[in-house]
A = this chain, B = another copy of it.
Amino acid sequence: MSKGDETRQRIVQEAAGIFNRKGYEGSSLADLMEATGLRKGGIYRHFSGKEQLALEAFEYAWGAARDARLHDVDFNAGAIPQLKQVIANFVERRGPVPGGCPLLNTAIDSDDGNDALRERVRKAVSDWKKRMSGILRAGMKKDELRAGTDADAIATLIIASLEGGLMLARLDKNLTALRVVQAHLEQLLDSLAAD
């Protein structure tokens, strides 16, 4: 990897944390300059502008968050343990990008304008949902889960309550709300088990 690519990668990583914490408007090039040790010229060498950088930073942040959530999932056998692992990862596992869930942050932040970013968030949510509904459908195929389970609805429910719980947890600066959500979702998953 060339020196330029390393620099570029470093910029993206730092930018991911900054954009995730402060939002697009709230983040300035000066913040990025301080974080990377580069000057404006050094940054603009690698990116055409703030927007492109924000897009790549989101890709990175979401990739890291997704990896954290899927950590060890395949070590579990069965749909229900796998989803419980996802939920536990969401609650416990901090990804390398500070500031909470990039999905939630960027969805709210890009709610007005910034369509390119918004489209990327939409796709990320869609992929995550598919990943979980896929686990559910595989479980149904293997008769681990009751037939007739609405995989999409369950996936939506998991995402919605986790993200909402995260918002509350960050507000209170403790994990209580997330643990409440976690307990509820685990109970819900158990209730889906085939007899």
Interface residues of chain A, those whose CB is within 8 Å of chain B, are 21-26, 99-100, 104-105, 107-109, 111-113, 118, 121-122, 125, 153, 156-157, 159-165, 167-168, 170-172, 176-177, 180-181, 183-184
Which of B104, B118, B165, B184 is in CB contact (< 8 Å) with A108? B104
- Which residues of chain B are within 8 angstroms of A122 by Cβ–Cβ distance? 171-172
Report how far A104 CA is from B160 CA in the complex, Å: 13
A140 to chain B: closest CB distance in Å? Answer: 18
- Which residues of chain B are within 8 angstroms of A172 by Cβ–Cβ distance? 122
Q: Closest 3 CB pairs between A and B?
A: A164-B164, A160-B164, A161-B161
Interface of A is mostly: helix
A167 contacts B22, CB within 8 Å?
Answer: no
A161 contacts B167, CB within 8 Å?
Answer: no
Report how far A153 CA is from B177 CA in the complex, Å: 8
Name which of A122, A168, A181 has the most chain B CB atoms within 10 A of its CB: A168
